[in-house]
Amino acid sequence: MTGNELSPRAITADLGTHFVGQRTIYYPRLTSTMDVARKAARQGAADGTVIIADEQTAGKGRLKRVWLSPKGNIALSVILYPGVSHLPYLVMLASLAVARSIEAVTGLKTEIKWPNDVLINRRKVCGILTESDVRGNKVSYAIIGIGINTDLKTADFTNIPAETTSLAGESGGSVLRVAVIRHLLVEIERLYLALPDETVYEEWRDRLVTLGKKVQVTSGNNILRGTAESVAKDGSLLLRHSDGSSTEIIAGDVTLRYQK
Ligand code: BTN
């Protein structure tokens, strides 16, 4: 044992949550925790069930991208059954929970790039993918997928964006995955149980590095440029263009144009 192995017992022992992570299912290797979580949710998995893997062979990113997920990093999905009014908050609470947990365990300062990338020193350390199945006014299930580059050797990959980092890279040493995961599950539950809570929206908004910056947003086939003016409580971004008009962006990928 190097002390950084994952095991359900190490994650759940005296975790102190009511339901998030109380049932944690660990896989050394799987395609994607999202696939396994979706199947489990459809079969009625308990609220707060966590699917966690040491390695994903087909990790999924936002906007149909690939998420690199070799051994040694954090890849997990949390199954929840929220009310429909809570859905927009999942993106906010997930990125907040990650930001708080990284800061608590490593002491590193984090920022959030809209909608939910967690950055350290302006480089991405965590990506979050949410998925839900809504029928009418009822949420059948929601899944929060979280990937944290704990020990990702960015130099080993050619197909990785330049602005990618890892906890080990930023802290100059190895970071205990289990400590980050346990913090994360506690924070997710704390924030989730507090919903609907204005402070979740407010803290997420206040941590966004994006606001007030000149940005380029790729949304579908469109590339839009402007100033990221504000975010609404449904999580959408208001982009103000140079001619004074504005666009509300529901989903997209933001490039900060001020940097470097
Ligand atoms: C992104 O930034 O594009 C989102 C990345 C989300 C990655 C996580 S890792 C755990 C879960 N399983 C997946 O296949 N994807 C999410």
Query: In a mutational test of the pocket of ligand 1, which residue from 27, 29, 34 has the highest number of ligand atoms less than 8 Å from its CB?
Result: 34
Residue 2 has pLDDT above 60, yes or no: no
* CA 171/CA 159 separation, integer angstroms: 23
pLDDT class of 1 with cuts at 50, 70, 90: very low
CA nearest ligand 1 atom 9, residue: 147
> Looking at the predicted structure, is the pLDDT value of residue 204 above 90?
yes
Q: What is the pTM of this model?
A: 0.94
The pLDDT-based confidence of 3 (bands split at 50, 70, 90) is: low
253 SS3 class: strand
pLDDT digits (tens, 9 = 90+) for 82-108: 999 999 999 999 999 999 999 999 999
Q: Which residues contact 241 (CB under 8 A, 6 or more apart)?
A: 224, 225, 226, 247
The residue to mutate among 146, 148, 150, 255, having the most atoms of ligand 1 within 8 angstroms of its beta carbon, is 146
pLDDT in tens, 145-184: 999 999 888 888 888 888 899 999 999 888 899 999 999 9
Distance from Cα 168 to the centre of ligand 1, integer Å: 19
The mean per-residue pLDDT over the stretch 104-121 comes to 95
Closest C-alpha to ligand 1, atom 11: 145
pLDDT band at 258 (very low <50, low <70, confident <90, very high): very low
